[in-house]
Structure 1
Amino acid sequence: MKLSADIKALEDRIGHEFARPELLIRALTHASISSSTRPDNQRLEFLGDRVLGLVMATALLEHDKLASEGQLAPRFNALVRKEACADVAREIDLGSVLKLGRSEMMSGGRRKLALLGDAMEAVIAAVYRDAGFEAAQAMILRLWGSRIGTVEEDARDPKTALQEFVQAKRQKPPAYVLVSRDGPDHQPMFTIAVRLESGAEARATAGSKRQAEQAAAKTLLETLENSK
């Protein structure tokens, strides 16, 4: 199978030339354009998530030989969660070569966090299937780069950190409320409010409910910590 020039350029960006290019094509194929003769990337995504996890767990153990499990776990979560995968996908311009159905393209699929994160995991699995674990590991470590060494000491996601903060004060868990949904169907914007039993509240707006919840939690947590 001969790859197009733009997909060959992606090979250069990830640093791996495929012996079985059909694996890369499959990794780039979203369910919105799949068919019986064109499988999507969901199975590869499933595998890539596990390969990424093993590489990151190993890398963190090697980077900090004295860290406890309690320190390693939040760092690990920060490095493998969908947001991190999507960030790496943006850096290698993965969105530009994704194979999407018309409706997904019209709705901005090439920029969607979840779609980019899933595709990045699928590419990892494609490299693993093409050339084995060491090749996949080398690519991951190259693309994640300094993130491994600079991941925050406490890299919990904001929602988890906020919940632990209020639990320590024996309050009820935070409540997340959808305040509004604006914009066209293909590019909605969600405003979420996070509220505590104490009456404290913060709001944030983003292109997905998850992102808005995380941003609201981060704002409220920073406010609470600064008011100590």
Structure 2
Amino acid sequence: MKMPIIFSGHGSPMIALENNEITQTMKAVGDSIDKPKAILAISAHWFTDQTYIQSAPTPKQIYDMYGFPKELYEVKYPVSGYAPLTESVQSLLESSVSINDTWGIDHGTWTVLVHMFPHADIPVVQLSVNRHLDQQQSYELGQKLAPLRNQGYLIFGSGNVVHNLGRVEWDNPDGTEMTHRFNDAITQSIVSHDHASVIHYDTHPDAAYAVPTPDHFLPLLYCLGAARNDKVKVFNNVCNLGSMAMTGYVFG
């Protein structure tokens, strides 16, 4: 059976502790799919100098955020790794991927999965986001990962369509006009299978504001490449903090 692909916005790490419409929707997305053998997680927060895959049988949980309440650092998501998934990724990506177990399961992954799959009973293997790949190359790497879906694996990307920490408006529960324009344009392109417009997001007039750095956007291109032209379900189409979009997509 062919597994879907999920891309989710993650926003503030505090989402791990929240119970609101956004986190309830994340849970509903997890409940809506058949349980995968394992999850290949592509998090914006493992942004590296080349493409790495994890092989640790018990990857450590990374608290890669600072200045938050003590209870956030007490959230536990104790997943195992999964050697067959690591080996499948190595087979698909060949010499372009290397083993690296210096990282772990970071907050881009566990703050969302704690809602989607709260029992932490699905193995998770993280794949890094390669800072040296451009948009087209990131999309093409995703295309190479597509066969994992027929092997029972869920590809899960975590980032944000709009992510500009420098322009955050802490007292704004909505998004700015620029955030909404960019988020709407990307979402419409994804739904209409206009992948070229998503790949070349930097041609949009609001791109410099919405994507000042590529780390949170590139996981979406990995997912889009693996999704091909599958049907798309949009979830959590919400903008907040002025310069954040929490929008997520289920492909397939």
TM-score interval, normalised by the smaller of the two chains: under 0.3
When Rg is computed on C-alpha atoms for both structures, the one with the higher figure is 1
Q: Whose helix proportion is higher, 1 or 2?
A: 1
Higher share in strand: 2
Larger RCO, structure (CA 8 Å, separation 6 or more): 2
TM-score normalized with structure 2 length: 0.23
